[in-house]
Amino acid sequence: MKFVEYRSPFRLFIPQYDEIVLFTMSFTCIILLITGVLSYSQEIQLIPPREYNPRIIAAIIIFIAGLILSLYHAFVDRPKTRMEKSFMLFFAVLVNAFSGFMASGYNLANSSGWLIVFPILNMINSMVLLFMWRAGVLDESSISDQHAPRVKIMLAAVMVLILYYLCHYIYELIWIQTLSICLVYSINFIRLLESIVFRPLPARDTAQ
């Protein structure tokens, strides 16, 4: 029997991606991509078609599809198909693992003493995420079917724009640090608001 069949007790340790998280990741990637292309348009060189690897091309197509679907479902209240969820999961796992490895590598090279523990733990977390995905522990059921309210999507967009401006223009951080900060703090801010502002009001006791 596969471990996947016994994973229900471990569900609390498996990442869950709702539309707020997916939108935050996709919107941040779009901003970084646009500003990166505009900033380094003169230095970008296209790879000749004969050097394209079919597997890499397929991965890029699935990644872009997952990114677009993450934006689409944030604004359109429509059930997600299993294939759509698989594309969105591929996108989410790749963004999280990539940002974790890259940011940790940069921080590890610029850390000393006991501070190196944090980038090492972040790398381990990224490896565990990839392992769970490859092992089938992290699957389409990790993509939530619940539609996010439009106000939360707008708040997430505003938070990403504010953090991007601070990181990129005020503190002049490199792009991988900007990506990590936008992802983590935008989502944490929305979660904080959910617990304070958007929490459901207690039902009134109408019994006489």
Looking at residue 5, its pLDDT comes to 44
Over residues 31-41, the mean pLDDT reads: 79
pLDDT, tens only, 90-111: 999 999 999 888 887 777 777 6
Residue 185's CB: how many other CB atoms inside 10 A? 17
Model confidence band, residue 49 (pLDDT cutoffs 50, 70, 90)? low
Looking at residue 68, its pLDDT comes to 97
Q: Kindly list the distances between the CA atom of residue 173 and the CA atoms of 9, 155, 167, 168, 180, in Å, as whole numbers in the listed order.
A: 40, 23, 5, 6, 11
pLDDT, tens only, 119-167: 788 888 889 889 989 888 889 999 999 998 898 899 999 999 999 999 9
Q: Which pTM does this prediction carry?
A: 0.82
Over residues 5-30, the mean pLDDT reads: 79
Least confident segment among 2-11, 59-68, 191-200: 2-11
SS (H, E, C) 164-198: HHHHHHHCCCCHHHHHHHHHHHHHHHHHHHHHHCC
Model confidence band, residue 20 (pLDDT cutoffs 50, 70, 90)? very high
Q: Please, which contacts does 63-69 make with residues 24 or more away whose CB atoms are closer than 8 Å?
A: 63/90, 63/91, 63/94, 65/91, 66/90, 66/91, 66/92, 67/26, 67/29, 67/30, 67/91, 68/26
